């Protein structure tokens, strides 16, 4: 099978300038995604989709391919990940390259490892899945959420107001790290979540949405903890 890893790293970032190549625990954050993809050994090619020559240079320095720059249409604030990936596949097809699977890896996902990507491939093959997506359980049950109406707190779901947390069904959300999809199913549905999508449940300590500097600092703390735990496990 031919498998393509696409790391989506556009240049524009308003809340954290140059976010995708900002230094994270000693090196550009983009390089963690590149390292994980290259280390997985399952990909025919690891490429970075970007509109930024500066990001392209960093990507190439760390071993990723940048065979073309992203179009202006798919580089604004409104372009979806699916649109970016469809463009990448189309450009490769023009050059005669056809892939069986595509793995979109976000550039600010230092918790992605080669082992997690390999596990995703194993799950896809074992379950005959259309897609595999990492998810994490909400730390607080959303069923007991509040809304504010006319300056007063109200339960969003009053039927769960007296329910014990342990009695509520666990609810999960996307980790925002990577998506492994069969190309034909992805092109058909134009969505990263296909009809038969298998979850990879991740620990909360290895998930962090990074939207501001506080998020960034928390992510660095979690990453150091993950690395320390990994080293302890190796020493056992």
- Tell me the domain boundaries of the chain: 3-135+171-235
Q: Is pLDDT above 80 for 123?
A: yes
Q: Is pLDDT above 80 for 236?
A: no
Nearest CA-CA partner of 218 in 228, 204, 234, 229: 204
Report which DSSP code applies to 19.
G
Percentage of residues in the chain having pLDDT higher than 90: 95
pLDDT band at 12 (very low <50, low <70, confident <90, very high): confident
Q: Name the β-bridge partners of 27.
A: 24
HEC sequence for 52-73 = CHHHHHHHHHCCCECCCCCCCC
pLDDT for the residue 234: 86
CB proximity list for 136: less than 8 A, separation 6 or greater: 172, 173, 175, 201, 202, 203, 204, 207
What is the value of pTM for the model shown? 0.95
Q: 31: left (phi > 0), else alpha (psi -120 to 50), else beta?
A: alpha
Q: Which CATH number fits domain 3-135+171-235: 3.30.200.20, 3.40.640.10, 3.90.550.10, 3.20.20.120?
A: 3.90.550.10
pLDDT band at 71 (very low <50, low <70, confident <90, very high): very high
Q: Which secondary structure element, helix H or strand E, spans residue 220, and what is its range?
A: helix 213-235
pLDDT for the residue 45: 97
12-26: average pLDDT: 93
Tens-place pLDDT, residues 80-99: 999 999 999 999 999 999 99
CB atoms inside a 10 Å sphere around CB 134? 24
């Amino acid at each position: 099978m031919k498998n393509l890893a696409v790391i989506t790293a556009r240049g524009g970032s308003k809340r954290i300038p140059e976010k995708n190549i900002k230094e994270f625990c000693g090196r550009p954050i983009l390089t963690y995604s590149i390292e994980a993809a290259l280390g997985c050994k399952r990909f025919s090619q690891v490429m970075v989709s970007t509109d930024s020559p500066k990001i392209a240079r960093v990507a190439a320095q760390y071993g990723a391919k940048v065979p073309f720059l992203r179009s202006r249409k798919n580089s604004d604030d409104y372009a979806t990940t699916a649109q970016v990936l469809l463009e990448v596949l189309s450009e490769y097809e023009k050059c005669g390259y056809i892939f069986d699977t595509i793995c979109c890896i976000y550039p600010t996902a230092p918790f992605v490892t080669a082992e997690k990507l390999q596990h995703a491939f194993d799950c896809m093959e074992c379950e005959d899945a259309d897609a595999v997506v990492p998810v994490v359980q909400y730390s607080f049950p959303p069923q007991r959420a509040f809304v504010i109406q006319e300056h007063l707190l109200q339960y969003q779901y009053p039927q769960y107001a007296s329910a014990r947390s342990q009695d509520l069904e666990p609810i999960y959300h996307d980790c925002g790290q990577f998506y492994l999809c069969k190309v034909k199913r992805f092109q058909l549905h134009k969505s990263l979540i296909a009809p038969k999508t298998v979850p990879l449940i991740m620990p909360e300590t290895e998930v962090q949405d990074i939207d501001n500097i506080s998020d960034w600092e928390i992510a660095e703390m979690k990453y150091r903890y993950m690395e320390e735990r990994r080293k302890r496990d190796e020493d056992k």
